[in-house]
């Protein structure tokens, strides 16, 4: 199962983030070195669009690799496209996402002497659990566990299950905002061995 920018657009449609989202389809892909393009400040003056910074994208991508079923691929392309459009024109929200991601990365460096993205999948999963994200309430102004739940865990899980591939895993064959027509309702979702609730991710309890 490979996620794409098109899947991110479908998830954004479900979230009601349509304004400007379709422009994502024409954006340049990530560079070969894996870093998202960040426009110099001179290019961004007078523009409402500010790219999500590469460290934030890297941390969110690493979290998605833990939260999503193990057979999913294409995390970075999906997460970058979703996060950029989701935060477009929402400065406070973008700052909240960036601060939560930075706090998660700082915790990884304090506890494991490396960035969150550089840790193994198992260690990332353990760190998210140790930080209390499994049981925390989502609160953008709360404690660290609550902010991580709001800006990272819940947002990434919503993005995945609102996308066509994620929706199919839980029997939602035609997510809102994604074309499918009546045929999609007549076709049973494919069987899968992935249990989205027990795949070892931080939200698996």
Question: Residue 146: its pLDDT value, please?
Answer: 97
17 domain residue, yes or no: yes
Q: How large is the average pLDDT for residues 163-172?
A: 76
- Is pLDDT at 171 greater than 80 in this prediction? no
Question: Residue 33: its pLDDT value, please?
Answer: 38
Higher pLDDT, 179 or 41: 179
Question: Residue 13: its pLDDT value, please?
Answer: 77
Question: Residue 201: its pLDDT value, please?
Answer: 55
192 domain residue, yes or no: no
HSE at residue 44, side-chain half, CA atoms within 13 A, is 12
**Tokens in use for 157?**
């899980």
pLDDT in tens, 89-142: 889 999 999 999 999 999 999 999 999 999 999 999 999 999 999 999 999 999
- Is pLDDT at 160 greater than 80 in this prediction? yes
Range of the domain at 27: 5-39+47-186
Dist CA 199 CA 179 (whole Å): 28
Question: Residue 17: its pLDDT value, please?
Answer: 52
Which residues in 76-96 are b (16+ Cβ under 10 Å) and which e? bbbbbbbbbbbbbeeeeebeb
Lowest mean pLDDT among 122-126, 137-141, 148-152, 180-184: 180-184
- Is pLDDT at 9 greater than 50 in this prediction? yes
Question: Residue 76: its pLDDT value, please?
Answer: 93
205 domain residue, yes or no: no
127 domain residue, yes or no: yes
138 domain residue, yes or no: yes
27 domain residue, yes or no: yes
pLDDT in tens, 45-99: 333 445 778 899 999 999 999 999 988 999 999 999 999 888 888 899 999 999 9
195 domain residue, yes or no: no
Helix (H), strand (E), coil (C) string for the chain: CECCHHHHHHHHHHHCCCCCHHHHHHCCCCCCCCCCCCCCHHHHCCCCCCCCCHHHHHHHHHHHHHHCCCCCECHHHHHHHHHHHHHCCCHHHHHHHHHHHHHHHHHHHHHHCCCHHHCCHHHHHHHHHHCCCCCCCCCCCCCHHHHHHHHHHHHHHHHHHHCHHHHHHCCCCCCCCCCCHHHHHHCCCCCCCCCCCCCCCCCCC
Give yes or no for a contact between 78 and 8, defined as CB atoms under 8 angstroms apart.
Answer: yes
Total number of domains in the chain: 1
73: β partners:
2
């Amino acid at each position: 199962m490979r996620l794409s920018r098109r899947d991110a657009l479908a998830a954004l449609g479900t979230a009601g983030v349509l304004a400007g989202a379709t422009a994502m389809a024409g954006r340049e892909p990530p560079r070969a070195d894996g870093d998202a393009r960040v426009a110099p400040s001179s290019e961004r003056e007078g523009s409402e669009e500010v790219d999500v910074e590469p460290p934030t994208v890297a941390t969110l991508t690493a979290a998605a690799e833990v939260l999503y079923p193990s057979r999913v691929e294409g995390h970075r392309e999906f997460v970058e496209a979703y996060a950029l459009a989701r935060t477009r024109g929402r400065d406070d929200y973008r700052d909240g996402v960036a601060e939560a991601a930075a706090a998660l990365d700082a915790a990884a460096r304090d506890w494991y002497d490396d960035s969150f993205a550089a840790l193994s999948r198992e260690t990332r999963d353990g760190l998210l659990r140790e930080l209390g994200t499994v049981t925390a309430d989502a609160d953008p102004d709360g404690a660290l566990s609550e902010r991580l739940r709001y800006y990272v865990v819940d947002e990434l899980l919503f993005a995945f299950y609102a996308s066509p591939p994620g929706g199919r895993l839980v029997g939602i064959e035609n997510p809102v905002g994604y074309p499918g027509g009546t045929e999609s309702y007549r076709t049973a979702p494919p069987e899968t061995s992935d249990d989205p609730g027990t795949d070892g991710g931080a939200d698996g309890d």
